[in-house]
Amino acid sequence: MSDILSSVSPSSAQEAFARAERAAAHIPGLTAGPEREIASVAVVGAGTMGSGIAIALLQSGLPVTLIETAQPALERGTGTIRAALERMVARGRLSRAAAEGAFGRLDTSLDMAAAGDADLVIEAVYESMELKQAIFARLDGIARTGAILASNTSFLDIDEIAAATNRPEAVLGLHFFSPANVMRLLEIVRGRRTAPEVLAAALAFARRIGKVGVVSGVCDGFIANRLMRPRALQADAMALEGTPIAETDRVLTDYGFPMGHFQMMDLAGLDIVTRGRTDRTVMGDLVAAGRLGQKSGAGYYDYDGRRAVPSQAVDATIAAVARDLGVDRRPTAGDDAILDRLLLPVVNEGARIIAEGVALRASDVDLAAILGYGWPLDRGGPLFWADGMGLATVVEKLRGLEERLGAQFAPCEALVQAVGTRAFAY
């Protein structure tokens, strides 16, 4: 990986990261006005995200009302919150008094009307437009004037959700990453009609709860998930072509990611990732075989405790799916080739995200990758890394991939135009 390793100096990457973090808080055209204070929050949905979000808020000193539809779900949620606080006490990261204080700020309800006094309502129910619209319509009739209504949706259109209310200017996305009490990225999704003071309040709120707020426009996946999708697609494609998944993961961890793509899927839960998908995939077959990831003791890997061990059963599943889908078995060989195939399409997507105005600047894209997906800090994020490599090299390599593998690798117009400049320097 000679050219790649020498392309970025770690210290300059870290300085760039510090600059990126400062820059993210500045939104062009957003003038300082009277700030809307957020002193209380209601969270609708006490599943994985709702309870994680509640922990983060409680720890920051905010009172939280957690709302569910049924008692067992509410108890599961409060149990998760209690257990997380207890773990922090046991590890010496939180005093007993602070944990009790945090838990004491938690209120619960089975009635949405309990959101009526909150300054901010964060919806974290299942990823369904129909359900989210129903909840926002209901909240519109309940929430006090001036309250901010936020959705934690991963992919859905915030403008469509806002359209279910009579106050679209008060609606935005607050996209937390899992685990929400740990991950520092908070994507603030600005809808077409989100009011400037609502956006400003969301940025201040992010700081207040110790997160880095990155503003994103509305699109499928917002910045981080959209940016990293091409990596997932290529990891899956290479697996079907016969590149061992452990090899792909090793190349990513050698580059500096804390874990590889398939390890990350196993951690997220394959049933969660495939929810709603009907096409034939390796992941779908693994779920059907009861391999849900780390939580079931087997996913893309077998697990010996938390240690991932390659599985022959998974190799057989991959070979069967490849045969059924008629994929040529032609493994990608060599670390450089695997890395180029995984990460150069991410650079390409990052350039598109900026060209479309979904991200305000290159450094926001890099922040989202570093804080949302563990992109190694000393590489500076995909665009900083690409800039260091030279955009001419990036475009040339993408064209090579396009020739061999198809149009999905074609460098986008914005990237081609940027050759010869340091378009992503910051």
By CB under 6 A, residue 64 contacts ligand NAD? no
By CB under 6 A, residue 380 contacts ligand NAD? no
Contacts (CB under 6 A) with ligand NAD, residues 265-324? 272
Between 41 and 124, name the residue whose CB sits nearer to ligand NAD.
124
Judged by CB under 6 A, the number of residues near ligand NAD is 24
Q: Is 275 helix (H, G, I), strand (E, B) or coil?
A: coil
Site string for ligand NAD, 132-151 (x = CB under 6 A): ---x----------------
Task: Calculate Rg over the CA atoms of the chain.
Answer: 22
27 burial type by CB count under 10 A (0-12 exposed, 13-18 middle, 19+ buried): middle
* Beta carbon of residue 46, minimum distance to ligand NAD (angstroms, whole number): 5
| Range in contact with ligand NAD (rule: CB under 6 A) among 61-69, 252-260, 334-342, 393-401 | 61-69
Between 45 and 411, name the residue whose CB sits nearer to ligand NAD.
45
Question: In Å, what is the CA distance from 365 to each residue of 59, 174, 280, 358?
Answer: 28, 17, 31, 10
By CB under 6 A, residue 46 contacts ligand NAD? yes
DSSP string over 352-369: HHHHTTSBSSHHHHHHHH
- 185 close to 209: Cβ distance less than 8 angstroms: no
When binding is defined by CB under 6 A, the residue of 60, 109, 178, 417 that contacts ligand NAD is 178
**Could you tell me where the DSSP H helices lie in 25-95?**
48-59, 71-90
| Range in contact with ligand NAD (rule: CB under 6 A) among 47-55, 94-102, 296-304, 314-322 | 47-55
By CB under 6 A, residue 45 contacts ligand NAD? yes
- 401 close to 332: Cβ distance less than 8 angstroms: no
Alpha-carbon torsion 13, 154, 23, 411, what sign? Answer: positive
Contacts (CB under 6 A) with ligand NAD, residues 343-372? none
* Helix axes of 96-104 and 71-90: crossing angle, nearest 10 degrees: 160
* Beta carbon of residue 75, minimum distance to ligand NAD (angstroms, whole number): 11
* Beta carbon of residue 126, minimum distance to ligand NAD (angstroms, whole number): 5
- 170 close to 163: Cβ distance less than 8 angstroms: no
Residue of minimal CB distance from ligand NAD?
47
Number of C-beta neighbours around residue 147 at 10 A: 23
* Beta carbon of residue 12, minimum distance to ligand NAD (angstroms, whole number): 31
* Beta carbon of residue 176, minimum distance to ligand NAD (angstroms, whole number): 6
Number of C-beta neighbours around residue 111 at 10 A: 11
When binding is defined by CB under 6 A, the residue of 79, 100, 104, 126 that contacts ligand NAD is 126
Instruction: Return residues touching ligand NAD (CB under 6 A).
Output: 44-50, 67-69, 73, 124-127, 131, 135, 152-154, 176-178, 272
